[in-house]
Structure 1
Amino acid sequence: MDVINLHRDAREPITCIDMHTTGEPTRIVIKGYPDLSGTLLQQKRQAKSQHDHIRKRLMLEPAGHADMYGAILRPRTELTETGDAHIGVLFTHNEGYSTMCGHATIALGRFLVDTHDVSVFPQRNEIKCDPATKTATLNLHAPCGLVVVTVPVTDDLSRSDPSRPVSFICVPSFATGQDIAIEIPPGDRWPELQDRDHVKVGFCYGGAFTCLVSAKELGFNDGLRPPVRHEALNTATRKLKAIVNSDPRYQKYMKHPEEDDLSSLYTVMVQDKSIGRVLSGAEGAETGLCYFADQQIDRSPTGSAVAARIAFAVATGKLKMGQSWTYHTLVSNAKEGKGGFVGTAVEEVPELYLKESMLSTPIRVRVEGHAYYVGSHVFISEPEDPYGEGGFLFDRL
């Protein structure tokens, strides 16, 4: 049944490919999105001011859900014009637009190698494959900067190989704070804090700013071992994030050295370093539960936060350059470790070091994981439909 022909008056049919990375969705918009102009950050602002109804239609109910995630391909950016990037992307979620997304980058790596449609990916034929390593390398322009993605390919070099992990080299990542005491006002304290008036956290950046806090520090003495108390953790992390974002004392830990658009807290990562299977080549493992945007929970280990956590571990002396660590979620732990990410500290970036705001020299981190296809869709919105254009979230009604 051809839905578009049946509903010729439907608004802006949007074609998407759905993928997942450790269960975390990526809805890739490949056709039907309006053209945008300017730099990629200008396109991000334009998407928000002029076309946000499309984000809401694809991310929110009834077409999506509270934890849906998306990627809008941008064939033309300032870096594609200079030849530094093959394609750009805007990342979307339940609240708006993010500056970096590792799980979506892993999914995009596979899709951009697999598509041979130059109307979707004009520079597809510029992608080079190495027959010796059977990998393809592409340069992705994310809002936070250039990300280099390495995709394993089949023997004939024509498509991605899902049996091997995709990896990417993230933008320079760094730590900005360790053991920072966040004061919790009396009216904002959650029951698990008991008589405590603060929690200690760390701050780091891997394309977006992350606040690191252990589950036990939040008052959850059982950590992230099942059964996890999701409702209580949601309350604690929501309050913590709101306090950090609103209190001027903590803004210095989320200051990007180059772009104000990147200077805000995106993620609260709850950590439990006592659980998680060590994957091949890694020194150890831990588990995290990531709350981002409007309390979305990332099913994947969160690629930007993996880069940030590796940078934090190096800055605080827990890891050395060249070493790797495994990061898990509740999802990968439930599948005997399958779907965990491995992060590796690969290179220092001394020219970006700011002594007054960073704990140590920024580094580049390699993050690797697996992504898989789920399906394809053409989304429409009939003019008579009161819910299709703006969408809704049931628990926000």
Structure 2
Amino acid sequence: MDVAQQLEQNGAIKCIDMHTTGESTRIIYSGFPRLTGTLLEQRDQAKSQYDNIRKRLMLEPRGHSDMYGAIIIPETELVHSGEAHIGTLFTHNSGFSTMCGHATIALGRFLVDTHDLTVFPRRNDLKPDLAAREVKVNIHAPCGLVRVTVPTTEDGQKSDPSRPVRFLSTPAYCAATNLQVPIPAEVRWPELGDKASIEVDISYGGAFYALVDIHELGFSTGLRNFNLDSVTFAVKKLKRHLETDPQVRKALQHPEEERLSFLYSVMVVDHEIGFKPDGVSGAETGLCYFAGDQIDRSPTGSCVAARMALAHEKKLRVKGESWAYNSLVSNYFNTGAFTAAIVEEGIPIEGQNSETRYGVVIHVQGSAYYTGALSFVIEKNDLISESGFVLQNCTQ
């Protein structure tokens, strides 16, 4: 038996790596401990009991501070009811998120391509549309049901990477517009100068986003020819401040579930630039800071839903109108933009946690590609990699 086989016998965690416009998705399909309960209960259990494994897979030396992951969850309450084919938990450098568009796009392809029923027990329930050359996959994410359509080869047995994956979001809604958030002197960054407040919007697309125009932050050149380190410094200060602002905290209350009610990200937007694919009415660019100050390489699919909901609220976008959303990476390569359109509106979002909201369902599409297949192990006495680390933290 060679060393690889010996290590595998010690309990390997098996993963497929993919990227969507340069943003990684490490799909954990075997070896993660079995979780129980509803999907949100499984998320709680993963956080409380197995966070060291999340760190091991996301952080150094197996990952890095900007790694992203998706854990396959075969059994959830929506899988049991027949509404979903499979569930997932999304992971990042500091925990577990509630929705992720770029990972959903990658997952869609993987779930069509795998025929291993130990990985995807309901794989045979997928019914390819051979005329349209596509198949629908319903994924239960912590925010709810995400309906994914994956292009396929002619026989319907494999995904077709030459055409984009698309998904229908859970209901997205604008939570607050044009908030004037005071910026105390101790929070301000150099480019802001003496400006006492900035304008911020809060919108939900499966997670909550604070949306702010790059020019509001004092960066006159927008997201073109700008200093990334300077914007990062500003957003780090801003995000921590927004999490304490009373009007922001009020906007973050999701009607249905307290566990969805937190600020996931600050999205810095430049409405004036962006690669524009054929067939869209316009384009813009966003720079997404999420979790523990990760920067999304992709246009951020859940925030695309949030931005469309915000534009709908401001009467800037109508049902059926297509728009392109870019990241720094898609602008650089002139490919990889996400496109989106509103397909349903006026959907009530009700619950005991806050007032009723009215949402929209967004059609989002983009492309994902495979980058590798991996088996990760942990050897006895390996304290350094047992829970992973981030180099910057080693200076403390």
Q: TM-score, normalized by length of structure 2?
A: 0.96
Checking the alignment, whether the CA contact within 8 Å between 1:268 and 1:292 is kept in structure 2 is yes
**What's 1:257 paired with?**
255
For 2:348 and 2:286, locate their aligned partners in 1 and report how far apart those are by CA, in whole Å: 31
Q: How large is the RMSD of aligned CA atoms in angstroms?
A: 1.7
**What's 2:18 paired with?**
19
1:329: Cα distance to partner? Answer: 0.6
| 1:119 partner letter | T
**What's 2:174 paired with?**
175
For 1:364 and 1:222, locate their aligned partners in 2 and report how far apart those are by CA, in whole Å: 33
For 2:355 and 2:140, locate their aligned partners in 1 and report how far apart those are by CA, in whole Å: 25
Checking the alignment, whether the CA contact within 8 Å between 1:175 and 1:359 is kept in structure 2 is no
1:186 aligns to what SS in structure 2?
Answer: coil
- Structure 1 gaps, min length 5: none
2:111 aligns to what SS in structure 1?
Answer: helix
| 1:372 partner letter | Y
For 1:123 and 1:359, locate their aligned partners in 2 and report how far apart those are by CA, in whole Å: 35
Could you report, residue by residue, the CA deviation over 1:242-280 in whole angstroms, capped at 9, with x for unpaired residues?
111122232111110101010011010001111112222
1:198: Cα distance to partner? Answer: 1.1
For 1:273 and 1:358, locate their aligned partners in 2 and report how far apart those are by CA, in whole Å: 31
For 1:225 and 1:66, locate their aligned partners in 2 and report how far apart those are by CA, in whole Å: 25
1:315: Cα distance to partner? Answer: 0.6
**What's 1:56 paired with?**
55
Alignment of 1:38-187 (within 5 A): 38-187=37-186
**What's 1:303 paired with?**
301
1:4: Cα distance to partner? Answer: 4.3
2:242 aligns to what SS in structure 1?
Answer: helix
Alignment of 1:309-348 (within 5 A): 309-336=307-334, 338-348=335-345
Could you report, residue by residue, the CA deviation over 1:139-186 in whole angstroms, capped at 9, with x for unpaired residues?
100000000000000112110000000000000000011111111111
| 1:6 partner letter | Q
**What's 1:6 paired with?**
6
Checking the alignment, whether the CA contact within 8 Å between 1:9 and 1:383 is kept in structure 2 is no
1:9: Cα distance to partner? Answer: 7.7
The answer to whether the aligner puts 1:233 opposite 2:223 as a matched pair is no
Checking the alignment, whether the CA contact within 8 Å between 1:177 and 1:253 is kept in structure 2 is yes
Could you report, residue by residue, the CA deviation over 1:350-373 in whole angstroms, capped at 9, with x for unpaired residues?
33279xx88983100010000000
For 2:3 and 2:23, locate their aligned partners in 1 and report how far apart those are by CA, in whole Å: 27
The answer to whether the aligner puts 1:246 opposite 2:234 as a matched pair is no
Summarize the Cα distance change of 1:3–1:174 in structure 2 as closer, same or farther, 3 Å threshold: farther
1:2: Cα distance to partner? Answer: 5.2
| 1:38 partner letter | G
For 1:2 and 1:135, locate their aligned partners in 2 and report how far apart those are by CA, in whole Å: 42
Summarize the Cα distance change of 1:359–1:126 in structure 2 as closer, same or farther, 3 Å threshold: closer
Q: Percent identity?
A: 53
377-386 or 273-282, which deviates more: 273-282
**What's 1:382 paired with?**
379
Checking the alignment, whether the CA contact within 8 Å between 1:176 and 1:359 is kept in structure 2 is no
**What's 1:291 paired with?**
289
Checking the alignment, whether the CA contact within 8 Å between 1:101 and 1:302 is kept in structure 2 is yes
| 2:20 partner letter | T
For 1:330 and 1:186, locate their aligned partners in 2 and report how far apart those are by CA, in whole Å: 30
For 1:248 and 1:68, locate their aligned partners in 2 and report how far apart those are by CA, in whole Å: 31
For 1:136 and 1:9, locate their aligned partners in 2 and report how far apart those are by CA, in whole Å: 36
Checking the alignment, whether the CA contact within 8 Å between 1:36 and 1:43 is kept in structure 2 is yes
For 1:7 and 1:152, locate their aligned partners in 2 and report how far apart those are by CA, in whole Å: 37
2:16 aligns to what SS in structure 1?
Answer: strand
2:233 aligns to what SS in structure 1?
Answer: helix
Alignment of 1:344-383 (within 5 A): 344-352=341-349, 361-383=358-380
1:301: Cα distance to partner? Answer: 0.2
Checking the alignment, whether the CA contact within 8 Å between 1:9 and 1:382 is kept in structure 2 is no
The answer to whether the aligner puts 1:271 opposite 2:308 as a matched pair is no
Summarize the Cα distance change of 1:49–1:4 in structure 2 as closer, same or farther, 3 Å threshold: farther
Checking the alignment, whether the CA contact within 8 Å between 2:202 and 2:248 is kept in structure 1 is no
